[in-house]
Amino acid sequence: MPITPEDLARQNIDQLLTAAGWMIQDRGAANITAGRGVAIREFPMKKGHGEADYLLFVDGVAAGVIEAKREGETLTGVEIQTQKYSEGVPDQLPCPRRPLPFLYQSTGVETRFTSLLDPDARSRQVFA
């Protein structure tokens, strides 16, 4: 099966997450308490909310999402998609705040971040 541009973005995102100390897991073998920061790939959200490319857990509780896009795609256009994921966390997951507060959009080269804790929540470019 050929590697898609989004697959390449995910490979770069995996490297960035690992370098930042996150443990990356596939959803079939997920252990949200395996480390301080756990990123689970292709996580199914509530019905009607799709599948997050990564659901981020900090100390065993859901805290944020990452949406991966191919390099060159305009990331400000996918803020709505990450917002939808943040609102669709399955009820059975530990989650102290709904919607999730931390939203990322990334191509693996460019990354944008939105904190819903900010009174003027908007995406901002970050270095990784």
| CB atoms closer than 10 angstroms to residue 73 | 15
Residue 24 has pLDDT above 90, yes or no: yes
The answer to whether the beta carbons of residues 111 and 19 sit under 8 Å apart is: no
Rounded to an integer, what is the distance from CA 83 to the centroid of its chain?
11
Residue 122 has pLDDT above 90, yes or no: no
First vs last Cα of the chain: how many Å apart?
29
Provide the pairing of β-strand 111-115 with 124-126.
antiparallel
Question: What pLDDT score does 65 carry?
Answer: 98
E runs forming strands in the chain: 23-26, 37-44, 51-58, 61-68, 102-106, 111-115, 124-126
- pTM for the model: 0.94
Residue 10 has pLDDT above 80, yes or no: yes
Question: What pLDDT score does 6 carry?
Answer: 87
